[in-house]
């Protein structure tokens, strides 16, 4: 699920947020979020929905196999 992690990182960087910023918004440890970006683990469905809300994208955008394009955000 590496492309998911790449998409997360791309969206986070585009919003000028740190991993800690996102972790705080989700009430999780930064380590947990880092593992999602690295593709080591995956978020629950609930967390996926919260991520989509934070990044203001559809869940499908987070799960795409290609990197998110800034022109569509």
pLDDT digits (tens, 9 = 90+) for 2-47: 689 999 999 999 999 999 999 999 999 999 999 999 999 999 999 9
Q: Percent of the chain beyond pLDDT 70? A: 85
Residues 39, 4 contacting (CB under 8 angstroms)? yes
Give burial (CB, 10 Å; 0-12/13-18/19+) of 17. middle
2-65, what's its fold? Answer: 434 Repressor (Amino-terminal Domain) (1.10.260)
Distance of CA 59 to the CA centre of its chain: 10
pTM: 0.83
């Amino acid at each position: 699920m590496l492309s998911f992690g790449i998409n997360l990182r791309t969206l986070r960087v585009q919003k000028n947020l740190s991993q800690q910023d996102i972790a705080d918004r989700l009430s999780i440890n930064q380590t947990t979020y880092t593992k999602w970006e690295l593709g080591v683990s995956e978020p629950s469905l609930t967390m996926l929905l919260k991520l989509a809300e934070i990044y203001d994208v559809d869940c499908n955008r987070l799960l795409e196999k290609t990197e998110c394009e800034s022109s569509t955000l």
